[in-house]
Structure formats: C-alpha cells, structure tokens
Amino acid sequence: MRKRKITVLTRKEDARQGPNFEGGDFIPGPKLRAKFGISAVTLWRWRHDKKCGFPAPKVINGRLYFPVTDVSAWIARQGDAA
C-alpha cells in the first residue's frame, strides 16, 4: 500500500469553514477529503479500520464533521509510525 504525505490542517477564521460545536473546531468530511486528496472510500476505510485509530466524526443531519484537533493528532501519530 502506498503511503501519502499528509500535511497538518490549518483553520481559517471563516464562518464558511464549518460549524463550531461544544467549543471545538470541526471540519466537514468533503473538506477533509479535499485537504488530504483522498476519496470517500479511503476516508470510509480509515474510519472503519480499528487499527488505524482515525478519529470518530460527529454526525449531524447525515453529514460527517471531524474534530480538527483529533485529526491533527492522528496525522502526527502517522509520522511516528512511518
């Protein structure tokens, strides 16, 4: 399996970036996929692979929102594993 280089997400102070729930910043699934350059299937695999440890999203109105801090921590761990 080919490894992708993943960069840390940065959040702009922009209301269009995504909702802010419970004091944490979240990024919608489609924007997360665009930042990583991955398909919906790859994101699904990461979410369902227990060994991968990808952060669980909040589901609101059928849409997935990922906690930015947890995703950034996951990215940092991937560098350690490589």
Q: Where are the domains of the chain?
A: 24-81
pLDDT > 70? residue 20: no
Q: Is the dihedral of CA 25, 26, 31, 35 positive or negative?
A: positive
Query: Can you say how many angstroms the Cα of residue 57 is from the centroid of all Cα atoms in its chain?
Result: 8
Phi-psi region of 47 (alpha: psi -120 to 50; beta: other; left: phi over 0): alpha
In the chain, what is the straight-line distance between the N-terminal and C-terminal CA atoms, in Å?
A: 13
Q: Is the pTM of this model over 0.75?
A: no
The fraction of the chain above a pLDDT of 70, given in percent, is: 67
Of the CA atoms within 13 Å of residue 43, those in its CB half-sphere come to 19
CATH topology of domain 24-81: Recoverin; domain 1 (1.10.238)
